[in-house]
Structure 1
Amino acid sequence: MRHGLSPDRHRALPLIDDCGYWQVVWLDPRAVRPLDVDAPARRVLSWEELREQPERPPVDPIGSWSPVWEVAVSVALAHLLAASGGARVVVPSGPVADAFRPALDALLPAEPPTRSLALTGPGLPATVTDIALVPRHPQTGETWPSGTEAAVPLAADVWTYMAFSRNRRLRPASGGLPDGVYRDDPPPPLPFGPFRLDREMFLDALARLPEVRRPWLRAIYDDVETRRSNLPFSW
């Protein structure tokens, strides 16, 4: 379990346990008191420095999907649905489509109108899109200022993989290397099965958004909460 202490005794401390679930610990002001520390304050990395931090691959070495990916994409999906306004969302090919398209196709109408989604953030060229998929700063919780009307935050290390993975797919493609071609480094591990979203984290994130009060989005919430088939969620 990873956790840390904050000099502000009223702040919530984000935790991620071994199962990939986000938690919050509130410090009781009656039981704690701040102390001055001689050590320098932790420096907040710039967006450009975050670009140089290690990205998080979607598949663990043993071939299972990263629980951090499952949680991060599930939370981002809730924000993405709220930003869609109930319209079909067109996503770029590659890891973004592999992670989001199955759920979007299952939960949103197939007919027009449509809204476009694109990765936006440090190191990427400016693009015109209806909805921007932007990184969330791991230290401050702030989202990349995209300037787009609708921005969907995604964990920075997951966003980095999606943005700079040279369009590697999250699932195996047909075919292989041509005959006589060898490589001396192993290929990325392939997952045991299709990518599944974390249903509980998705519902929890969606319930916290004010847009869930809109009838069309509340209908999606109720559908995911009660239906156990034909949806890309784990139970």
Structure 2
Amino acid sequence: MELFACTHCASALTRPVSQVRFPPYARHQVGNGLRLSDLMDAGTYAVDPEPSGPPWRSWEDLAEGEAEARGYYAPVPHHLSDGPPGRTVLAPADVTGTTLIPGSAAGYCCGITGQDGPNLACARCGHPVGAREDDCSLWQAVWLEPAAVRRVPAGPRPPVADWTDLVHDRSDVPPVGADGRWNDRSCQEIGTTLVDLIVAADGSPVAFDHAGAATVFDHALRHYQPGTDGPVKRCALLGPGRPLTARHPELALVPRHPQTDLPWPTPPDVTAVPLDLAVWRHLAFPHTRPAVRVRGALRAEIDRDDPLSPGRRGGVWFDSWLIRDLLARSPAVRRPAVRAAYRAGYAGWL
């Protein structure tokens, strides 16, 4: 465990937190006019390995070989940052000892952003340390500047949870709401996994062994691979409590460990496609209850306190900007089938 302290006066700026994977969709906006949830779970933080903030450079300004050195293998329409790497992102609830900088809380209609630079200062010494963001279409988060803070040991890391315990843990926010739609973070996680499926399929048609996985991925995968060719690749849903069957698949959707970021291990001849644990758990072991026929209408208090389980009818928002950006960052985009998926564009509910 670590906490972050001000480099100028050493005051604590956060509660003890533990490091987890940096969400690849952290810098992507979602929708228009939407109030998003927290990007990070309470008690966790992540470090952005890439540059962020000004100055900015367009794709045309990059010298030969510079794009690949920065992890891009296909053109992107947005400008690339030449700012410092290593910004830290946390849930707002884990930040303490800070205060808003007067006149620096820029934003639009629903909240504030860090578009004009830091809007948070150390409450003790007044030095700028980071930015709070909670405007519409932005993830609610606090971003700490790498030069303004330092990590301080704050106790041992939490023990790595066993896969069995993770499968049975239902304490987190359900990934699907009462309307049957996946929440914003789950949609972006599903979009991230879709990119891995596109790369793993490499133009071959994919047949899902699991009906729920087919509902989530099949339509979008066929959109990004319209001219599939070659032998069908079977894709199973594998993980703790869902072992291999007699029919050996070529691909497997497996859970990603939330602490180690490692996927559930698969046999060498099965290509693992990591999936967010909460999404995988909802597909593998959905908590559904059969409907019971009753006469008349349910009393309002029963309908309120014991609603039906949410349906799983898809309801995934596939963000084409995120998918295109992640494909551009994959060396596989040089292959014809993956390049065709990179050129395809779509954004909407499927």
1:205 aligns to what?
A: 326
1:53 aligns to what?
A: 169
Could you state the TM-score of these two structures normalised by the residue count of structure 1?
A: 0.74
Is contact 2:256-2:264 (8 Å) kept? yes
SS at match of 1:35: strand
Give the structure with the larger helix fraction. Answer: 1
Is contact 1:21-1:71 (8 Å) kept? no
Trace 1:126-205 onto structure 2 (pairs within 5 A). 126-127=244-245, 128-147=248-267, 148-165=269-286, 185-190=306-311, 194-205=315-326
Is contact 1:59-1:65 (8 Å) kept? yes
Q: Deviations over 1:191-217 (max 9, x none)?
A: 898433122222222222211121221
2:216 aligns to what?
A: 99
Q: 1:22 to 1:136 in 2, by over 3 A?
A: farther
Q: Deviations over 1:126-153 (max 9, x none)?
A: 2321001111111121111112431111
Residue segments in structure 2 that go unaligned for 5+ positions in a row: 1-37, 50-84, 92-132
Letter in 2 for 1:144: W
- Percent same amino acid at aligned positions? 31
Letter in 2 for 1:53: D
Shift of 1:22: 10
Structure of greater relative contact order (alpha carbons < 8 Å, 6+ residues apart):
1
Is contact 2:176-2:310 (8 Å) kept? yes
Shift of 1:104: 1.9
Q: 1:120 to 1:219 in 2, by over 3 A?
A: same
1:41 aligns with 2:157: yes
Distance 1:163 1:122 in 2: 9
Residue segments in structure 1 that go unaligned for 5+ positions in a row: 169-175, 225-230
Letter in 2 for 1:35: V
Instruction: Give the CA RMSD over aligned residues.
Output: 3.8
Is contact 1:12-1:24 (8 Å) kept? no
Which of 67, 88, 106 in structure 1 is aligned with 2:184?
67
Number of aligned residue pairs:
217
Query: Based on CA coordinates, which of the two structures has the bigger radius of gyration?
Result: 2
2:348 aligns to what?
A: 233
Shift of 1:121: 1.0
Letter in 2 for 1:217: V
Q: 1:42 to 1:180 in 2, by over 3 A?
A: same
